[in-house]
Amino acid sequence: MKDVTLDIPTYEDMLSAHERIKPHIRRTEVLTSPYLDEMSGAQLFFKCENFQVPGAFKVRGATNAVFGLNDDQAAKGVATHSSGNHASCLSYAAMRRGIPCNVVMPRTAPQAKKDAVRRYGGVITECDPSTTSREATFAEVEAKTGGDFVHPYNDPRVIAGQGTCSKEFIEQTDGLDMVVAPIGGGGMISGTCLTLSKLAPDCQIIAAEPEQADDAYRSFKAGYIIADDAPKTIADGLLVPLKERTWHFVSNYVSEIYTATEVEIVDAMKLTWKHLRIVMEPSCAVPLAIVLKNPDAFKNKRVGIVVTGGNVDLDKLPWTL
């Protein structure tokens, strides 16, 4: 039953989203690595959302929101604020529908992500690298453009879209004991909770977070949302705080949140590049980092890891700086 107070999406909303977005997204591959299995003591399955055309899972939620608009709403376009991947994915979805897209991005966002937004026709307004500046700047852009606000994660359409990833994941692996995904604002984790609580209720949902941006971890332990305004971590996709809708899913369905240091994140990123031979960004390395850091929690389990994106500046790889 839908929570009308918060407008929490349902499993049926996720199923509808999957049908809506199928023509516009990829059913991404699942990769395995005997070496990483041996190293972790678990059987690992990597769902490669970095293989999406815009390079990130967020194309699922963005596409669901864009193609769910009626013609009158769509004519005004869409608008959002984002550190990068949601901005590029929303721009991509808007381009597919032929409507305008305006995005607010921190001026410190990776150049590769800014380039992607512009490549898909998005118009960027830059802001200071803090949640306060991002939201204030966005209010000005929204008032000027009148576009439909598609929040990066605290949006029922977005959460329903992100939930389609776990539906595919379970179907592609014949079941998992655990699914691990990065957590920032909580869109992917919320979608994972939405789907697995219905489709695979015995599957544990684990969130992975940078130690230097651990507000979700502290919120989880405290029992209420704790928001940091401007955390600093190499995992630039995980800088934003939980909101009320994503907190609903985190507080009700997540089994545990583990954190990783900056060094552990970079080491896991290098391992994945080397042994899976795929391009991934630092935010996506956090799940493998926490699996390797906490072997007893994952030993002998079938563990699904969501590789959430692969948009990196190849001239500024973390191990070359």
Q: At 162, which CATH number? A: 3.40.50.1100
Sorted by sequence, the CB contacts under 8 Å of residue 76 that are 6+ apart come out as: 100, 145, 146, 147, 148
Q: Are strands 148-149 and 30-31 parallel, antiparallel or unpaired?
A: unpaired
Query: Rounded CA gap, 106 and 229, in Å?
Result: 13
Number of domains forming the structure of the chain: 2
Asked whether residue 6 is assigned to any structural domain, the reply reads no
Q: Are residues 161 and 29 in the same domain?
A: yes
Model-wide pTM > 0.85: yes
Q: Are residues 118 and 175 in the same domain?
A: no
Q: Are residues 108 and 216 in the same domain?
A: no
Q: Looking up tokens 């879209």, which residue turns up?
A: 161
Average the pLDDT over 21-31 and give the result.
98
Contact by Cβ (8 Å): 186, 249: yes
Average the pLDDT over 151-162 and give the result.
97
pLDDT value at residue 5: 64
Q: Are residues 109 and 235 in the same domain?
A: no
Query: Rounded CA gap, 280 and 278, in Å?
Result: 6
The parent domain of residue 99 ranges over: 59-149
Query: Rounded CA gap, 198 and 220, in Å?
Result: 22
Q: Are residues 145 and 66 in the same domain?
A: yes
Contact by Cβ (8 Å): 47, 90: no
Average the pLDDT over 302-308 and give the result.
97
Q: Are residues 276 and 291 in the same domain?
A: yes
Asked whether residue 189 is assigned to any structural domain, the reply reads yes
Q: Are residues 27 and 161 in the same domain?
A: yes
Q: Are strands 101-106 and 78-81 parallel, antiparallel or unpaired?
A: parallel
Q: Does 289 have pLDDT greater than 90?
A: yes
Average the pLDDT over 132-146 and give the result.
91
Q: Are residues 17 and 162 in the same domain?
A: yes
Q: Are residues 222 and 258 in the same domain?
A: yes
149, 174, 207: which is the final residue of a domain?
Answer: 149
Average the pLDDT over 168-172 and give the result.
97
